[in-house]
């Protein structure tokens, strides 16, 4: 196991990174297509195709999830992911055409590097071409390239955020993985010791947001090898948000567009078990998803490298090796 989301069978991850512009995108490809869900908690989201993940909507399975920089401009990268999938005959069958299902969400990173170069369709396509089921490159890469954290006291106090991943295997063999792009306004806190990993004194500081008050958002994807219904997957997305609250303080502010996508890639075809058993399974996986996501957030910050004048946590004295 790699201790990242690609430990879940069927998941491949690819990045497109532009260090000069301080932005990029990351695609999570699902083969076979996964049952998808989402939970949007932040007050400033930038999203595409999230409504169809609601249990009342028709389409149940998704072909990919795209996480991108560039704010709402960067959502254009999803068109490149769709083209890649269409060329390979993947997507929802709608008459004589297949429509790839690619929900997407963006972080605001326009204040780092160039505000005029954003991920586009070509970037999304390149990320797909680079997708692998092997270990994931983490830190200042892909959608995490321009991410920053700990901005409650003003942008001048920011620390470099990034992209992180982790995985957990439950006692019954079920795999749970998480991938996260951490671009939060809040501080990063160790959930076990309570010590601040990145940031100042937290809520005691004046919440000065400076010229770019919406330059925050944490985007996450959690995935499991279990076979689950669409309603159950949405519940896991909801529970996984607890991982943000454990590590990012505060989370889900009006200046954050926090979103968690959830994917179930199980292929079992047996009838669903007793509802009580299903409820217990969903609760266990949801709790594991939250804990795994919390570890991925810390990985994102610890593996980030400094960029365009924003220092990395790893560059500061007293920090452990990556």
Average pLDDT over residues 265-283: 86
The percent of residues above 70 in pLDDT, for the chain, comes to: 91
- The helix or strand, by DSSP H or E, that contains position 121, with its residue range, turns out to be helix 121-129
User: pLDDT-derived band of residue 194, with 50, 70 and 90 as boundaries?
Assistant: confident
Place of tokens 């999203």: 47
| Nearest one of 192, 116, 104, 110 to 148, comparing CA atoms | 110
Structure confidence by residue, pLDDT tens digits, 276-311: 989 999 999 999 999 999 999 999 999 999 999 999
Of the listed ranges 33-37, 242-246, 272-276, the least confidently predicted one is 272-276
Structure confidence by residue, pLDDT tens digits, 147-183: 999 887 666 678 999 999 999 999 999 999 999 999 9
CA distance 27 to 127: 6
What is the reported pTM? 0.93
Q: What is the pLDDT of residue 318?
A: 58
Q: What is the pLDDT of residue 199?
A: 84
- Is pLDDT of 24 > 80? yes
Q: Which residues contact 274 (CB under 8 A, 6 or more apart)?
A: none
- Is pLDDT of 4 > 60? yes
Enumerate domains of the chain plus CATH numbers.
Answer: 8-315 (3.60.70.12)
CA distance 210 to 156: 9
């Amino acid at each position: 196991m790699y201790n990242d989301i690609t430990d879940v069978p069927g998941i491949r991850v690819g990045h497109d990174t532009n260090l000069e512009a301080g932005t990029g995108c990351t695609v999570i490809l699902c083969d076979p297509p996964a049952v998808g869900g989402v939970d949007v908690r932040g007050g400033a989201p930038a999203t595409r195709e999230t409504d169809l993940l609601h249990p009342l909507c028709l389409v149940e399975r998704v072909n990919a999830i795209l996480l991108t920089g560039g704010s709402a401009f960067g959502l254009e990268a999803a068109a490149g992911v769709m083209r890649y999938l269409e060329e390979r005959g993947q997507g929802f069958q709608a008459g004589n055409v297949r429509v790839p299902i690619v929900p997407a969400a963006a972080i605001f990173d326009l204040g780092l590097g160039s505000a005029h170069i954003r991920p586009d369709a070509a970037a999304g396509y390149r990320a797909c071409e680079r997708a692998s089921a092997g270990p994931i490159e983490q830190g200042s890469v892909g959608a995490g390239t321009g991410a920053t954290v700990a901005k409650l006291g003003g942008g001048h106090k920011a620390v470099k955020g990034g992209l992180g991943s982790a995985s957990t295997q439950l006692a019954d063999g079920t795999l749970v993985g998480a991938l996260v792009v951490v671009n939060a306004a809040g501080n990063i806190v160790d959930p076990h010791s309570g010590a601040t990993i990145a940031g100042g004194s937290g809520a005691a500081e004046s919440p000065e947001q400076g010229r770019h008050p919406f330059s925050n958002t944490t985007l996450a994807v959690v995935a499991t090898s279990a076979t689950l219904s669409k309603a159950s997957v949405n519940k896991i997305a909801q529970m996984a948000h607890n991982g943000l609250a454990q590590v990012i303080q505060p989370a889900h502010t009006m200046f954050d567009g926090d979103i968690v996508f959830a994917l179930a890639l199980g292929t079992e075809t047996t009838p669903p078990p007793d509802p009580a058993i299903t409820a217990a399974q969903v609760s266990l996986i949801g709790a594991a998803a939250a804990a795994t996501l919390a570890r991925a957030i810390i990985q994102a910050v610890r593996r980030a490298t400094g960029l365009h004048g924003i220092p990395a946590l790893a560059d500061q004295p007293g920090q452990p090796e990556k």
